[in-house]
Amino acid sequence: MRKPLIIAVTGLLFVGIAAGPAAGQCNRQCLEGFVNQYLNAMVAHDASKAPFANNARYTENAKDISLAKPTEGLWAASTSLGDYRLYVADPQQGQVAFVGLVNEGGKPAILSMRLKIENQKITEIESIVVRNMTEANLWTMKTVPVEFTRALDPKERVSRQELVRLSKGYFEAIVKSNSKLVPWSDECYRLENGMWTAGAKLPPELAANEPKNAPPPKTAAKAASGANTPPPSPAFNRGACTAGIDSGVFALIESIDPRRTPVVDEERGTTWGVYVFNHPGVKEVKMPDGSIKPAAYFAGQPNSMPISELFKIKGGKIRDIMAVGVINKYKSDSGWK
């Protein structure tokens, strides 16, 4: 029987159970176990149910929140967990990412987060929470995309460094309106806050859940638009992943910085990172052909968006893209370096 692990966090006494392999040797199963402990503690509003380090740091939508006595965010308001659970494990770095659904008083929210594990304790929690979700968004989140759960054949794998390069290169392609800067799978598609926004078709396991009367992406975006979601725009289309990038519609983005990719699952070819989109609120943009057109969205609305993005890179090509992001004050950052 394992002994209780007693840890103090900002003056409070928390009791947890050490789990998994010896300190510093946390494999996939061990890392996912920490996520589950954390989530159960969160919805119970009881930090003693998870093993936090003395200096554990928690941010929600780039804002620091104390774990000692949280009065806001998911630690104060969550009531239950949804069935959707997607994990990205990085045993090499002792980090794990998660995307899932959480209920707050019966209202669903998307949670994308990263945990860092050191010496069998949770030292960092970085979370992005998107609220105001509706069925117009969430039908794509009834089933986890199969490719995110599959180990790649060794012939389909690339190095850790290449996974990071391709993930960050995606944002360089957006900023420069040039999709040729990174390689794309013919099966590429993109989900943004649950909405299907790019890709000619979805994987079969997701397509099977599409409602017969599902609204087009612009309508879905309008229904979901609120304090934490972007407004409807021509950028919400279902053409090839490269089409929106090459169209120039994203020229209204001033920069995407910082670009952080802290979690890399080499076995599955998956990465999780947080990238901050800075929108100065311009009203017009210069298109690739030199013409001037009205900004597609955020015209006169300067803001910055910390967005967690998951990529599945198969055979050296970007295949699955899942973005979860919120709108914050212009020129604010992700809260992490």
CATH of the domain at 260: 3.10.450.50
pTM: 0.87
Give yes or no: residues 94 and 18 share one domain: yes
Does 71 share its domain with 190?
A: no
Same-domain status, 142 and 121: no
Question: Is 285 in a helix, a strand, or coil?
Answer: strand
Beta bridge pairs of residue 85: 100
Domain boundary among 130, 150, 166: 130
Are 133 and 141 in contact, with CB atoms under 8 Å apart? no
Residues 317, 178, single domain; the answer is yes
pLDDT by residue for the chain (337 residues), tens only, comes to 333 333 333 333 333 333 434 445 899 999 999 999 999 999 999 998 999 999 999 999 999 999 988 889 999 999 999 999 999 999 999 999 999 999 998 899 999 999 999 999 999 999 999 998 987 789 999 999 999 999 999 999 999 999 999 999 999 999 999 999 999 999 999 999 999 999 999 999 999 999 887 655 554 444 334 444 444 455 566 789 999 999 999 999 999 999 999 999 999 999 999 999 999 999 999 988 999 999 999 999 999 999 999 999 999 999 999 999 999 999 999 999 8
Q: Are 65 and 143 in the same domain?
A: no
The single residue listed with the structure tokens 């941010």 is 59
Q: How many domains does the chain have?
A: 2
Are residues 147 and 28 part of one domain?
no
332, part of any domain? no
Q: Which among 126, 58, 133 is positioned nearest to 102, based on CA atoms?
A: 133
Q: How far is 302 from 331, CA to CA, in rounded Å?
A: 9
Phi-psi group of 101: left, alpha or beta (phi > 0 → left; psi -120 to 50 → alpha; rest → beta): beta
Find how far residue 272's CA is from the centre of its chain: 7
Position 132 scores a pLDDT of 86
Domain boundary among 88, 110, 130: 130
Strands laid side by side in the 95-104 sheet: 63-64, 52-60, 121-130, 107-118, 95-104, 80-90
